[in-house]
Amino acid sequence: MNDEPKKKYCSIGEAAQQLGLKEHVLRQWEKDFPKDLQPRRSSSNHRRYTEEDIQVLRRIKYLVYHEKLQLDGARLRLEAERYESGGLRNVQELSYTIDAIADAARAIITLYDPDQAESGRSE
């Protein structure tokens, strides 16, 4: 029985070794898949990959190496999968974004015409 606690994070070298990839590939995929892959950083700015990050990297590797998708195709596939698995969450995120934009627009209107912002309508 293994009594060692499972590590919460792994370094880029450890992640690359687990996946059979080079470290520079993980760095590049971090840039290519910013919505899907954002490893945390240590206080010394080193990447710290979680198990969820490793799962995303495995999925990207499968799409690129086994399904032979180009990076744009893999990105679209991940986006579609994210939408299918979290459609309601995406609607909620969109709603929050729209509300934030509306609040910002009202703040801008107030700068130029405080009376118009208070009435909530334009003439």
Do 43 and 69 share a domain, yes or no?
yes
Residue, of 114 and 46, whose pLDDT is higher: 46
Do 10 and 65 share a domain, yes or no?
yes
Give the model's pLDDT for residue 87.
53
Mean residue pLDDT of the chain comes to: 83
CATH of the domain at 22: 1.10.1660.10
Length of the chain: 123
pLDDT per residue as tens digits for the range 86-113: 654 555 666 667 777 887 888 888 888 7
Give the model's pLDDT for residue 96.
67
Longest dimension (CA), the chain: 75
Q: What is the domain extent for residue 93?
A: 87-116
pLDDT per residue as tens digits for the range 23-72: 999 999 999 999 899 999 999 999 999 999 999 999 999 999 999 999 99
Do 30 and 16 share a domain, yes or no?
yes
- pTM score, two decimals? 0.64
Do 22 and 68 share a domain, yes or no?
yes
Count CB atoms within 10 A of the CB of residue 55.
10
Structural domain contains residue 121: no
